[in-house]
Amino acid sequence: MVLRALVPWDGLAPAGSTLHVDVYDGVAAPPSDVDDVVCYVLPYPQVTAMPLITRMPRLRYLQTLYAGIDDVAPLVPAGATLCNGRGLHDASTAEHALGLILAAQRYLQTWVRNQDRHEWRQQYTASLADSTVVVVGYGSIGQALGRRLVACEATVVPVASRPREGVHGIAELPALLPTADIVVLVLPLTDSTDRLFGADSFALLRDGALVVNVGRGRVLDSEALLAEGGRIRAALDVTDPEPLPADHPLWTLPGAIITPHVAGGSATFYPRARRFVAEQLRRIVAGEQLHNVVLGPPIVAL
């Protein structure tokens, strides 16, 4: 039987392999017959491509290019291996988070709107230098952001789900938030993080503090943020709901900057993702242990 893989880009077939590799980029119409697909690499973005998983009875290996797996995990067939894209988005997401912080602190949205009106209006701004930044979610993306923040002369307070040397545990947040000028959320969506940052957290922040979310939209309680009425500034690459409806009040919340979940998808991401997928396919054909296994056996038996 011919073994078949479905991947987002061409040129990824392992040299000398009998694995037949087809391309599905998530934009064109999906293949009509996927019964023989044993390896599926979800295109990026993946929303329209996920229903195909349920039509793949022989699927043994599923690769998502996101770090989070909350939307994919329920679809993984029993016995199949799921790998995530941990590490692929570190630079892109850290850059975007830093850009949101700088835009908010230096009032870039104000200057852009003034430019649209041809208005020359000067004022002093906030700064990133000498600010205290609490980074909630200190995995690979949080650490990549931390390095960039230190280069900008900020004080970084790292927070993870559990404490470790040099990193606070998330249970310490109530004591840390009153000290924060900026809070960055870089968290996956789990039962414990769903609306983790809500009214109680906002109440601990000083007036004018900035909350940045580049993790998952539902980690931050949108209604609680709206209830602050602009007392707390926000820079959001992810929202709840998502996509954000055109009439949603978050669009017009004073002090808010919103980008449409684009932090991870920069020019840096795609070459890294392509190299990663090529290596994963090589390992599958060679019977070697895979990178970033989150569900299932670490070696795929085709």
The token duo for 290 is: 């895979």
Backbone angles phi, psi at 54, to 5 degrees: -70, -10
Catalytic residue among 113, 119, 242, 275: 242
Active-site residue, 216 included:
yes
Closest among 203, 212, 216 to 131, alpha carbons compared: 212
Per-residue HEC secondary structure of the chain comes to CCCEEEECCCCCCCCCCCCEEEECCCCCCCCCCCCCEEEEECCCCCHHHHHHHHHCCCCCEEECCCCCCCCCHHHCCCCCEEECCCCCCHHHHHHHHHHHHHHHHCCHHHHHHHHHCCCCCCCCCCCCCCCEEEEECCCHHHHHHHHHHHHCCCEEEEEECCCECCEEEHHHHHHHHHHCCEEEECCCCCCCCCCCECHHHHHHCCCCCEEEECCCHHHECHHHHHHCCCCCEEEECCCCCCCCCCCCHHHHCCCEEECCCCCCCCCCHHHHHHHHHHHHHHHHHHCCCCCCEEECCCCCCC
Active-site residue, 218 included:
no
Spatial contact of 120 and 72, defined as CB atoms under 8 Å apart: no
Q: What is the largest CA-CA distance in the chain?
A: 70
Catalytic residue among 216, 218, 233, 283: 216
Active-site residue, 4 included:
no
Residues labelled catalytic: 216, 242, 261
